[in-house]
Chain A
Amino acid sequence: MSNNETNPISMPDFMPLGDLRAMQLRKLQKIIPYEYEHVALFRRRCDEKGVKPRDLVELKDLGKFPFMKKTDLRDEYPLGLTAAPMHDIVRFHCSSGTTGKPICIPSTQNDLDIWSEGAARCLAMFGINADDIVQVSYGYGLFTGGLGAHYGAERLGCAVLPTGAGNTEKQIMLMKDLGVTVIACTPSYFLHLATVAERMGVDFRRDTKLRHGVFGAEPWTDEIRARIEQISGITAHDIYGLTEIAGPGVAGNCPYCHGLHIWEDHFYPEIIDPDTLEVLPDGEEGELVFTTLDRFGTPMIRYRTRDLSRLQTEQCRCGRTMRVMDRVHARSDDMLIIHGVNVFPSQIEACLMKVPEIAPHYQIHLASTDTMDIFELKVEVMPESFSDDVRGMESLRKKVLDAIKQVVGLSPKICLVAPGTLPRSEGKIKRVIDERRK
């Protein structure tokens, strides 16, 4: 056990299981009646199902209550699911959403405190402490990444460098000059940062004090994690969260078990079968569902995340009692059906990681003719693997194609592009552009 785990902020992580379950029930018996009283949509759905707040007698009774979905947040935009009066609201976060209306999550001061605590507990678990200097390169603003990591790091007593995303060369300069030890950003932004650092002649191991990366806000694979650790010498940690439930800090990966401990004293998890909507026992894979136990601004009751995961059944060796979820590799929303084959973008990513000549940046383009799908894959070539002759580049294209074909069974048209040219926003590349007629 490292010294950081004696940090008082980590105390709840080790709560005895009996106490934890009793606390969860107590909190549920408060939030469910509160939600029923203040949110019309929830009340209506409970009434339709014939379930009353008083029916919540034990934890498993939560399964009787209706789900919430992202579409509810859109339909009730902007404030239909907000339970607290504006007097108590202190901040809004919004998630852009790729289609149509955004979603809006107003929070009370207490909601924000819970979120900061969650983020701080993640950082403490990662081995970060008050001596660390944390560069927050997530976007600040409506997006929860920046402010979430920011307040979490401050709560732990770290020194925060709030760079936000972008202006990468300056970020690298500050990282060197200030002796930054932790960076918090999306994994794809870090890879971009590494490309720029290389161009500037900056070697992370030699020229910086960076030792931890706190990565989240997009699904990423074990292969990307290995690549990040190999090029930079840092330890890559996974922080999980979503705007609807708080933001980054709902769960974080544990160095012992490689899954993510969920701070279930605040965020109660369930796994359901996304088709039958039945609650699955721990150990089975399905869609992750969260109930915010003590956020009173915009409570979420049984919110369907669309993230596919599993709650592990083994007690973790680190001693934390909080349940562990598998890393999220895929969202049930992300699955593409191309030529009738189910494909997750993370599978494509894993294939590309096996081709060292290719940077781990890609974009899937889908279009359709009258009769068939057109599947195109743009990948960035590493600068050192650009060969001067056409045959060399053709064989690289074939190598990429073979890697995809072997695993996915499809033959996309491979387009090689120069490094850094796929468009990025807030450090994220839009992985899929689907222009097929629906």
Chain B
Amino acid sequence: MKIRQISIFLENKPGQLAAICRALADADINMAALSLADTTDFGIVRMIADDHVKGVETLKKAGFLVRETEVVMVTVPDSPGGMADLMAKLDNAGINIEYSYAYGFGRGDKAILIFRFSDNTKAEEILGQ
């Protein structure tokens, strides 16, 4: 399933992530998943929030560099090989993964992952979800 993700540019200085979390908390927005990509000079925070429209608006107002991106939410069996089968399907179709992070574990026998594919629409079709 395609969902909306919030991406935020992170300057390399202390307190940046804390400021993001505080701004969202003050606006009563909950983060369902979060990942941090970083280089030595800057980082990019990617997150799924319960209200992405309000989330983007809140962070823009707080002076952050923010954009909305489309990602795909994928459910895989939480057992050995669950991920491997999935990867094989995508590989055969020539789809690349730009990045991925976990949404949540320990929900029964399923794991939920967030993906950004080179072609989100095609990936969604192949995975049938």
Chain A interfacial positions (CB closer than 8 Å to B): 199, 381, 383, 386-390, 393-394, 397, 413-421
Contact = CB atoms under 8 A, between A and B. Distances in A.
Nearest to A384: B67
Q: What is the interface residue range for chain B against chain A?
A: 20 to 34
Given A383-B65, A388-B67, A421 B11 contact: yes
Interface of A is mostly: mixed
B11 A417 contact: yes
B69 A381 contact: no
Nearest to B40: A413
Given A381-B65, A383-B65, A388-B44, A416 B39 contact: no
B69 A388 contact: yes
B80 to A, nearest CB: 30
Contacts of B66: 383, 386
Contacts of B69: 388
B60 A416 contact: no
Contacts of B7: 386, 388
Contacts of A383: 60, 65-67
A390 B9 contact: no
Contact of A418 (B11, B39, B44, B116): B11
B11 A390 contact: no
Nearest to B69: A388
Contact of B65 (A389, A394, A414, A418): A418
A389 B99 contact: yes
Contacts of A387: 67
Given A415-B11, A421-B11, A390 B37 contact: yes
Nearest to B67: A386
Interface in B30-57: 37, 39, 41-42, 44, 46
B121 interface: no
A387 B37 CA distance: 13
25 contacts: A383-B60, A383-B67, A386-B9, A387-B67, A388-B44, A388-B46, A388-B67, A388-B69, A389-B98, A393-B42, A394-B39, A415-B11, A415-B12, A415-B41, A415-B42, A416-B9, A416-B11, A417-B11, A418-B9, A418-B63, A418-B65, A419-B63, A419-B65, A421-B11, A421-B63
A413 B41 CA distance: 9
B42 A416 contact: yes
A397 B44 CA distance: 14
A317 B12 CA distance: 53
A269 to B, nearest CB: 43
